[in-house]
Structure formats: structure tokens, C-alpha cells
């Protein structure tokens, strides 16, 4: 299952376990919640209905803050002695997606390994 979320004015395609960097989020919270724009479940069914998505949520754990690449800004005009030098380093918050909850969906992840283990045992006999 994956979802499209909006974070910091940008959109990202995420699934459970993904680690990504978003625009800096101020605050001391350990968890963040996002309202998804689109959800695609394991069967390939797409959910884009706003009434259903308003009840869905994507939870993430904050891992920390990181700095982006240094951006050098240099302005120069020929024959006038005009030179300006400036640098910038954007701050990002690194998060890990922990869960995607969609109302009405069932958790199949725990049921499948048991069935596969039973099938493997029956095939060996």
C-alpha cells in the first residue's frame, strides 16, 4: 500500500518504512500525521474520494533535522568592481513513515505468512 502526501508544499509517494526529508517542521513532536491526497492499496485499488481520505491518515516518526547541500550565490558585474557572495543551506526534517491507515481496509500482512508456512509444510509431506 502506498500513498501520496503533501509536506512542505511538495508531494511525495510514500509507503510504510520509507525514510524521506521534508521541509523543516518546527516543534518537539515525535510523531507527525499527514492527510493523504491519494491511496493505492495492495490490490491496486485507488482511493481518491475526499470523504474517505479525510478519515485516512499517514503517520510518521521524526528522526531528526539535517542540512541540505550548500548553495553558492555569486553576483558579478564586469568592469565596475561589483561582487556579492552569499551562501545558503536549507534545513530539512528527516522522517520515517510508520503506518498508512485507510478506513475499511483489513491488515493482511500478518495472515499471509501463516498460510505460506502451512502450504510449504504440506508440500514437503
Write down the pLDDT at residue 112.
43
25-63 burial code (b ≥16 CB/10 A, e <16) = beeeeeebebebeebbbeeeeebeeeeebeebbbebebe
Write down the pLDDT at residue 117.
55
Q: Count Cα atoms within 13 angstroms, Cβ side, for 5.
A: 25
Q: Per-residue pLDDT tens, the chain, 125 aa: give them.
A: 999 999 988 999 999 999 999 999 988 889 999 999 999 988 889 999 999 999 999 999 999 999 999 999 999 999 999 999 999 999 999 999 999 998 876 554 443 455 555 555 555 55
Q: Are 23 and 9 spatial neighbours (Cβ–Cβ below 8 Å)?
A: yes
Amino acid at each position: 500500500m502506498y500513498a501520496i502526501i503533501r509536506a512542505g508544499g511538495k508531494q511525495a509517494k510514500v509507503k510504510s518504512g520509507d525514510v524521506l526529508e521534508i521541509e523543516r517542521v518546527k516543534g518537539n513532536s515525535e510523531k507527525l500525521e499527514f492527510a493523504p491526497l491519494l491511496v493505492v492499496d495492495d490490490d491496486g485499488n485507488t482511493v481518491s474520494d475526499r470523504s474517505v481520505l479525510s478519515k485516512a491518515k499517514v503517520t510518521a516518526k521524526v528522526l531528526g533535522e539535517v542540512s541540505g547541500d550548500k548553495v553558492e550565490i555569486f553576483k558579478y558585474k564586469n568592469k565596475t568592481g561589483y561582487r556579492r557572495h552569499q551562501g545558503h543551506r536549507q534545513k530539512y526534517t528527516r522522517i520515517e513513515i510508520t503506518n498508512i491507515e485507510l478506513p475499511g481496509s483489513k491488515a493482511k500482512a500478518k495472515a499471509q505468512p501463516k498460510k505460506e508456512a502451512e502450504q510449504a509444510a504440506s508440500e514437503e509431506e
